[in-house]
Structure 1
Amino acid sequence: MEKISLGFILNATGGRLTRECFNIKISSVSTDTRKIKPGSLFIALRGERFDGHDFIETAFEKGAYAALSEKPVENTSRPVIMVKDTHSALLHLAQSYRMLFSIPVVGVTGSVGKTSTKDAISAVLSQKYKTHKNEGNLNNEIGMPMTVFGLDKTYGAAVFEMGMSGFGEISRLSRVAKPDVGVITNIGVAHIGKLGSRENILKAKLEIIDGMKPDGELILNGDNDLLSGYITEAKGKLPIHLTSYGINNRSGVYANNIETTSEGSYFDINYHGGRIRAFMPVPGEHNIYNALAAFCVGMKLNVDPRLIVEGLASYKPSGMRQKIEKIGGVTFIEDCYNASPDSMAAAFGVLNAVKTGRSIAVLADMLELGDRSQQAHFDVGRNAAQSGVDVLLCCGNDARYICEGYDSVKTGGKSYFFEDKQLLGQALLDLLKAGDTVIFKGSRGMKLEETVKTVYEGWKNK
């Protein structure tokens, strides 16, 4: 972070300083006293289970130079900037800080694949620019603006992932990031429980346009039905340009001549002006889509196509996404970050690409699906059976409907439902044998990684 003055913070937030002070320079921003560094600005946020205002003096004791607060703070040892709403002040401060940098910025959103696409774009842009990006899942109205403060004058580009659960959130994040390029990976059913329909999800994702610069580029997955329809409807009516990518839709940048291996996919990228062979070192068709989005971004930001494919070949998944481990003759695929019907389908594709013997799917609940949840879980079970999953183990509440859907397709495979993750883990250990391939997939709130850890330790010691 570049140092900023209290005057800069006052102008950005419209705040009021409660006491006179010397010319203080802030060198970092924090909302968590456990991460306070000397010279920090502490922003006191209120949540459902905590109130940061209770920790302002603690922040000062740990070296914070100043604090943003909604509440009066008496007898404080350091300057406090009073604002009406600290959450709003955080967004306004991040927006002002972002505008200190004249670098290309990319915003990424979508129902699934946001983080993987962001990481692919970063791998591509890093071939030409020092590139800043969100770490992990810091993509909400706290995490993304806090990521913005990580920018400094050494960076040549930035990629910001934008998540949401309702209307207005992407709009606010886009206005902070001011992207030159926007990417929407797809429109699925994640968060449909709150937004009610895929059409409303599309509307919420399109809020990324709100902060985009005039003459910017919006890059969309042309194989997604709703995004394809939007391209047809909106082309020529927006102050920004539209670009599409796909495998089936060949009106824009597209992939063909696809060769799938257990290590990844080889494919040709066809674009205006040429064709180039690429390799994505992770299996699954969904990763080809991520690569195509990254290719479009790279081309827009003047990265040579040869450097783009070098960047794609260097891609590595982050966190708990498609992490592949081989232990004692069994291949484990850990994909516990999140889950939706679309990402479940992608997981079955990965399982088929990697497996050599039996395929085993360990699935937990998909959350935030509202009234569609039971049917969505049933459909995932049918998809699992039709995709050739040999053994299915499920846990959770609605995950029982995955088993019902699986059993409705007569394949000769076996399904097992557990209300307890420990029992599921033990059952998996009992039936595992060398040559099996296992994928773990569930929504983040199900914490399926706990089962993964138990199974890893049990299998190593078996």
Structure 2
Amino acid sequence: MKKTGIKYILESMHGAKLISDAGSKEVTSVAIDSRQVKSGTLFFAVIGGRNDGHDFLPAVKESGCLAAVVSNPDWANKIAETGDMTVILVNNTRDALMQLAKQYMADWKDLIKVAITGSVGKTSTKDFLGAVLSAKYKTGKTPGNLNSDYGVPLTVFGFEEDIEAAVIEMGAGESVHISELADIIHPQIGVVTNVGTSHLEVFGTREELTIEKLGIAKCFKDNETIIVNSDCDMLTRQKVSRIVSVGTDILTVGSKGDDNFILYNIKDKGIDGVSCALDVYTGNEDYDGTFELSIPVVGAHNLGNAALAIAVGMRLGIKPKDAISALADTHFSSGRLEIDRRDNLTIINDVYNASPESMKAGIKMLMASKAERHVAILGDMFELGDESEVLHESVGDYAVGAGLDLLITIGTNAEAIANAAKAANREAGRNIASQTRLISYKDKDEAIKDLSTILHRGDLILVKASRGMKLEDVISAIN
């Protein structure tokens, strides 16, 4: 973070009042978690569903905090009385955090800003983007999943002050709209990976969710670029053009003849990586042509995500062949398609998050890999709204159709996966030996007790669920 003075901070937050001033030192970091406070930190006492940040102010003060932004007048006066910490009073600490981040980014004049969103694949694409842009620029990117109303500002303040390009992930939810996050960043390029079924309980329909995702382009100036996966039925060039403002440059990545980046001859080697041919049609002879795209990551769907990153690179002066070379150095965030090779078996760790689309993609990738036995341990998916049961059932039906050897489900919602798989086994009319074996557990502790007797040497195991299930505990128990 660039060193920032208290005067600048006050002027950036609407209606902010200086209650006490402990000196002229500059802020060097921002935190909302009291455990991350250090000397030079500006602490925002945010109020969440479980905790009120004001309750941690005494501990924050003891940690050497430079200044605190609070919304509770009583706490403001109480901390101000100590006289050794700057205290700023605002109406709402969440809004103040976003306002400060917006001004901070507006004053970072020469920074290249790329924003990314989508129902699935945004974090993987973020990692691809980080690799591609690093071929030419010193690049910062969102750490973990800091993509919310709190996460985006914290990402901004966490960037090193000498970066040249920033890749910022944005997530939709009940508490914030993509357009609000875009208003903080004002990106020059926006990327939308797809529009699936996540967050339908908030937005109701995929049409409304599409409008939400394309809010990433809300603050575009003329000729700034939106790049989309046009193989998603909601993100065709025609549909996107009806939503984004006139003057927005639209680049499409997909498998159709009118796309700017066309993927074909896809080869999925499972855990050994994926490859395809990539045709580039942009009207610029320095970039256009046919290329071989090969990446050492699992899942054919990641070829499309990699191509989105190549498209961004091209817009920023990075030739496709150089972008492809850079992709060989991609490192995914923890818990996302990590290959854990052990002496007796191999685990595909994809516990970071899940949707029906990504679960099916995971199963497809699993079945494309060589193994003595293909096993999937699948847990609950959250935030699917009224269609949750049907969407879980679609995964169970898909698993049997794909030829999975063993399906283990964990959780209440995931029972629908098991029930649908059971029905699919019956409908397939296979003999018992060729059916998908099914085991269902109410919770992960129950499953962990049995894993040592269920799993065999030579198994290839996909472990996937929504983040709240914490199935990393299951992976730790596999031996």
Counterpart selection for 2:279 from 270, 276, 281: 270
* 2:101 alignment partner in structure 1: 94
- The residue correspondences of 1:134-173 to structure 2 (distance < 5 A) are 134-166=142-174, 168-173=176-181
Could you list the per-position Cα deviations for residues 183-203 of structure 1 after superposition, in whole angstroms to 9, with x for gaps in the alignment? 010000001122211112112
Q: Does 1:217 align with 2:188?
A: no
Cα drift, residue 150 of structure 1: 1.9
Cα drift, residue 21 of structure 1: 5.2
What TM-score do you get using the length of structure 1 for normalisation? Answer: 0.94
- The residue correspondences of 1:308-319 to structure 2 (distance < 5 A) are 308-319=323-334
Q: Secondary structure at the match of 1:211?
A: coil
Q: Which amino acid aligns with 2:88?
A: I
Q: Does 1:413 align with 2:436?
A: yes
User: Any stretches of 5+ residues in structure 1 without a counterpart?
Assistant: none
* 2:206 alignment partner in structure 1: 198
> In 1, Cα distance between the equivalents of 2:343 and 2:230?
42
Q: Does 1:9 align with 2:9?
A: yes
What TM-score do you get using the length of structure 2 for normalisation? Answer: 0.91
Q: Which amino acid aligns with 2:12?
A: A
Cα drift, residue 251 of structure 1: 2.0
Counterpart selection for 1:436 from 445, 449, 459: 459
Q: How many residues align?
A: 456
Native 8 Å contact 1:283 1:354 kept in 2: no
Cα drift, residue 388 of structure 1: 1.4
* 1:320 alignment partner in structure 2: 335
Counterparts in 2 of 1:270 and 1:4: CA distance versus 1, 3 Å: same
RMSD after superposition: 1.8
User: Any stretches of 5+ residues in structure 2 without a counterpart?
Assistant: 282-287
Does 110-119 or 196-205 show the bigger shift?
A: 196-205
Q: Which amino acid aligns with 1:104?
A: I
* 2:188 alignment partner in structure 1: 180
Q: Secondary structure at the match of 1:25?
A: coil
> In 2, Cα distance between the equivalents of 1:193 and 1:231?
23
> In 1, Cα distance between the equivalents of 2:367 and 2:242?
37
* 2:67 alignment partner in structure 1: 66
Q: Secondary structure at the match of 2:272?
A: coil
> In 2, Cα distance between the equivalents of 1:100 and 1:254?
38
* 2:417 alignment partner in structure 1: 402
* 1:24 alignment partner in structure 2: 25
Counterparts in 2 of 1:264 and 1:368: CA distance versus 1, 3 Å: same
Native 8 Å contact 1:13 1:89 kept in 2: yes
> In 2, Cα distance between the equivalents of 1:367 and 1:219?
28
Q: Percent identity among equivalent residues? A: 36
Q: Secondary structure at the match of 1:171?
A: helix
Q: Does 1:447 align with 2:454?
A: no
Counterparts in 2 of 1:359 and 1:94: CA distance versus 1, 3 Å: same
Q: Which amino acid aligns with 1:76?
A: T
Does 404-413 or 105-114 show the bigger shift?
A: 404-413
Cα drift, residue 437 of structure 1: 1.0
* 2:284 alignment partner in structure 1: none
Q: Which amino acid aligns with 1:132?
A: G
Cα drift, residue 145 of structure 1: 0.7
> In 1, Cα distance between the equivalents of 2:122 and 2:226?
15
Counterpart selection for 1:344 from 359, 363, 368: 359
> In 2, Cα distance between the equivalents of 1:127 and 1:387?
38
- The residue correspondences of 1:290-309 to structure 2 (distance < 5 A) are 290-309=305-324
Q: Which amino acid aligns with 1:243?
A: L
Q: Which amino acid aligns with 2:413?
A: D
Cα drift, residue 129 of structure 1: 0.7
Could you list the per-position Cα deviations for residues 51-73 of structure 1 after superposition, in whole angstroms to 9, with x for gaps in the alignment? 11122233232222211111222
Native 8 Å contact 1:179 1:213 kept in 2: no
Counterpart selection for 1:245 from 218, 239, 253: 253
